[in-house]
Amino acid sequence: MNCEIRRFTRRLCRPTPEKETGQTLVEFALVIPILLALVIGIFEFGRAWNVYQVITNTAREGARLAVIPSSDETGVRTAIDQGLTAAALDPGQSVVTITGLGGGTGTPTTVQLDYPYQFQFIGPIVAFLDGPDDDMNGAITLSTTVIMRNE
């Protein structure tokens, strides 16, 4: 190694750059997939959480309408569909189950809302890694249930 000790700074020379050629590129190539997976995972699960919050709020609004004595099932389903449409979700994909509608005062009314969620980036990767014969396609069903007492 061609190093000289500098008299005033007392620093040793670093190894020659020829021996470090490509090291940074290799380190970057090893770290970037992990970093991208982390960022994309945060984005994907954040969006899934957002959709879950939307369907929970929509089911809550439907349940509020369902416990009013003058409400009917068609009006509740219409309110739920409008809430999903306002959040840019397809109401045709939702499965709404309403029980206890029109019951006596104090009896519970249950509104259950199931909505399929397809992961945009992680879903195709999971489907590819899982193979064509298996049923995992990167989709999950988000489900929420709201129970309120009839007025």
Task: Spell out the per-residue pLDDT of the chain, length 151, in tens.
Answer: 445 555 555 555 655 556 666 888 888 899 999 999 899 989 999 999 999 999 999 999 999 999 998 889 999 999 999 999 999 999 999 999 999 888 888 899 999 999 999 888 877 776 766 666 556 667 889 999 999 998 8
Rounded to an integer, what distance in angstroms lies between the CA atom of residue 30 and that of residue 144? 40
Is residue 111 within 8 A of residue 97, CB to CB? The reply is yes
Q: How far apart are CA 139 and CA 117, in angstroms?
A: 6
The residue ranges of every structural domain in the chain are: 22-149
Helix, strand, or coil (residue 81): helix
Is 26 strand, coil or helix?
helix
Count Cβ atoms below 10 Å from residue 63 Cβ, excluding itself: 26
| Residue 40 tokens, joined | 């994309």
Give the whole-angstrom CA distance, residue 83 versus residue 55.
Answer: 8
pLDDT of the residue at 110: 95
pLDDT at 1: 46
Q: For residues 36 and 59, what is the distance between their CA atoms, to the nearest angstrom?
A: 35
Residue 108 and residue 30 in contact, taking contact as beta carbons nearer than 8 Å: no
Tokens of 127: 């489907």
- pLDDT at residue 20, as a whole number: 66
pTM: 0.75
Q: Which of 111, 112, 108, 110 is nearest to 149 (CA)?
A: 108
Residue located via tokens 């709020």:
57
